[in-house]
Structure formats: structure tokens, C-alpha cells
Amino acid sequence: MLRNKPQPAAVFGIDIGKNVFHVVATDAGGRVIQKVKLRRDTLLQFFDTAQRATVAMEACPGSQWLARKLQQLGHVVRVIPAQFVKPYVKSNKNDIIDAEAIAEAASRPAMRFVEIKSEAQVDIQALHRIRDQKVALRTQLVCQMRAFCLEYGIAIHQGIGKFKADFPRVLTDEGNDLTPMMRHTLRRLFEDFGHIEHRITEITREIEALAASDERARRLMTVPGIGPLVATAFVASAGNASQFRRAKDLAAWLGLVPREHSTGGKTTLLGISKRGNHYLRRLLIHGARSCVMHLNRTSDRLGSWLTGLEKRMHANKVTVALAAKIARVAWVILTRPGLTYERRLPAFP
């Protein structure tokens, strides 16, 4: 039985913890009417008996699960980026003050919120995070083995492909300066490298299977520069993209638009903002770079546009501009069911 009964409120702000949650309730005028501390096993009981209202929390580990549970109870749930809550924290900081700041931030009409993800989106995103971690670990391992070899005067070409081809020859070459102990150490590290490679291949196949079975991902893969990895990352991160009012908003969310520092009527545009989902932005830029290098420019209208950009911009700027365009095209495809990318011939004068 609950010791703290919920009061009728307009907004509840929750400061999320591992086991203890601090909740502040405010009325329609923003006045605090209740402050409670709840454990994890009583939190959902509290909101099950509460009058249906807006419940707000910061975006953090566990917020997506809690948001889905509260939605099932009939509440309107708002997840707020932590940087947008910080200006509302008054004076000193503690958990109750944080919860009050969350409730106040959620009541602002111009506040920006995080889209609540489905369980399927979280599952796909987890696969991407694990694969990204394994790729980083593989790179660290290769750099370490190459460095060990340099200590014995053995230089190995950069790149995973050349490393896999050259390293077995280094291990079996008895004429180099490797000591027996170092040779044994490197052999064990190469076995670890093989295990990581196998795991990356497994996860990549899982992602490719998910892309083949998801209708939105299949439509996204018709866009140049988007493969199974980018398509599933888009679906996991943006869903149906309905939270973005226009295509430019999605590109801005990915940090692919210029930072602005304008004042006094003078517009000043800087480099790209690099905000938002850095993982998806990185995948998009890699896809755009591949597209710049390998796209058949005579059979796609993007070709003449890229050629025109290359005449007046650095190659890196061209790549980022193409990534932003791909993001905008992806927004159109995600927001319009059944739509795919149509390859049109360039219009020559």
C-alpha cells in the first residue's frame, strides 16, 4: 500500500535514479503541490493511481522503458534532453530540485522533446551499439599488434584487409627479429582478432536480415549512399520521422547543418553543428563519401549536382552536403508510406 497518495496535478516531473525516484507534482499554474520519493517497486503503483496527467523526465538510461510503461497507464509522457532542463535548475542542485526543473521545462510550449522509441527500435539500436564497440575494439587491437611489430623493425601496411593478409606471414617468418615470447603473444592476439572479426560478421548479418524484413528499411536502401547499416540505424533512431516537421529538421538533428552565430542583422554561419546522433551522422557521411567516389553520375540526377559542387568546394564539404541531402531524402521516404527513391537522368541543356 502506498504511503504517499498522488495529488491531482497537471504535470509530474521525475528525477530518475537506479532504485530511488524523486517526483514533483505541479498544478496548471506551475505551483508545486507535492514532493515524494519512491522506490522502483512502488513508482508504477503511484502513477497507476494518479490522475492522468503529463509526466516528464530527462533522457537517460531507463527513461525509454519508463516512458512506455507510463504511456500504457494512460499518461502523456514527455522525455526532455538534459541540456534543455539545466537552465530551469534553481540555485543549488539536488534530486528534488532536478525533478521540479523537469516539471517546469515540460510546461514550456516551445520545449523540444525526445521521441519515445518502441522495443523493436531499442533492440536494433542495441545491435548497432555492440557492432560499433566491436569495430572500435578491432581497430585498437590491430594498432596494438602493429605497434608491437614496429618495436622489432617490422612495418605492416595500414588497413584491416592488408593487415589480415600480411600478419600470418609475419608470424611464420623465422627470419625476422621477433622473440619467441613476442611471437607467442602476437599469435594469441591474432586469435582474439579472429574472434572479434567473427562476431562483427555475425552482427552484420543480423542487421542485414532485419533490413531485409523491414519495409521502411527496404525503401530507404533505394537511396544512393544508404545500405543495410544506415537504413536500420535510421529506423532505430528516427522511427517514422513524424517528430520532425520538415526534412531540414532531421538534417539539423543529425548535426549536418551549419552552426549559426548571428547578431545585429549580420548572419554568420560556421562549420556543421555535430549535434544529435553522432553514430548515424558518421554512417551517413561514410555512405556519402562512397557515393561521391562510386556513383554513376551519368545515370543519376545527383551526379550533375555533385560535379557542380566539386568545382567550387572542398571534397569534405561536398561529402557533408551530400550526407545532408541524403538525410532529407530519407525524411521524405519515412514520412510518406510506400515512397521510394526514383533514379532520374540528369537534365542536360
The residue segments making up the domain with residue 15 are 11-106
Same domain, yes or no: 209 and 228 = no
- The HSE-up count of residue 24 (CA atoms within 13 Å, CB side) is 20
Confidence of residue 242 (pLDDT cuts 50, 70, 90): confident
We report the CATH number of the domain holding residue 96 as: 3.30.420.40
Q: What angle do CA 283, 288, 290 make, to 5 degrees?
A: 100
Q: What is the pLDDT of residues 127-144, one digit of tens each?
A: 999 999 999 999 999 999
Instruction: Give pLDDT, residue 91.
Output: 81
Confidence of residue 266 (pLDDT cuts 50, 70, 90): confident
Same domain, yes or no: 206 and 269 = no
Same domain, yes or no: 206 and 228 = no
The C-alpha atoms of residue 129 and residue 106 are separated, in whole angstroms, by 29
Instruction: Give pLDDT, residue 1.
Output: 45
Last residue of a domain, one of 178, 213, 248: 213
Instruction: Give pLDDT, residue 348.
Output: 52
Instruction: Give pLDDT, residue 184.
Output: 95
The C-alpha atoms of residue 195 and residue 185 are separated, in whole angstroms, by 16
Confidence of residue 151 (pLDDT cuts 50, 70, 90): very high
Task: Find the range with the poorest average confidence among 178-187, 193-202, 256-265, 313-322.
Answer: 256-265
Across the range 35-51, mean pLDDT stands at 92
Same domain, yes or no: 299 and 278 = yes
Same domain, yes or no: 208 and 236 = no
Same domain, yes or no: 173 and 208 = yes
Instruction: Give pLDDT, residue 347.
Output: 61
Kindly state whether residue 4 falls inside one of the protein's structural domains.
Answer: no
- 114: helix, coil or strand? strand
Across the range 240-268, mean pLDDT stands at 87
Number of domains in the chain: 3
Same domain, yes or no: 258 and 281 = yes
Between residues 347 and 122, which one has the greater pLDDT? 122
In the β-sheet with 20-26, what is the strand arrangement from edge to edge? Answer: 32-39, 20-26, 11-15, 54-58, 76-80
Instruction: Give pLDDT, residue 208.
Output: 96
Same domain, yes or no: 136 and 85 = no
Q: Where are the beta strands (DSSP E) in 235-305?
A: 258-260, 269-272
Task: Name the pTM for this structure.
Answer: 0.87
Closest by CA position to 114, among listed 81, 86, 88 = 81
Last residue of a domain, one of 79, 106, 133: 106
Kindly state whether residue 345 falls inside one of the protein's structural domains.
Answer: no
Across the range 316-336, mean pLDDT stands at 94
Q: Which residues pair with 24 in a beta bridge?
A: 13, 35
Last residue of a domain, one of 159, 179, 213: 213
| Mean residue pLDDT across the chain | 91
Same domain, yes or no: 94 and 123 = no
Kindly state whether residue 343 falls inside one of the protein's structural domains.
Answer: no
Kindly state whether residue 75 falls inside one of the protein's structural domains.
Answer: yes
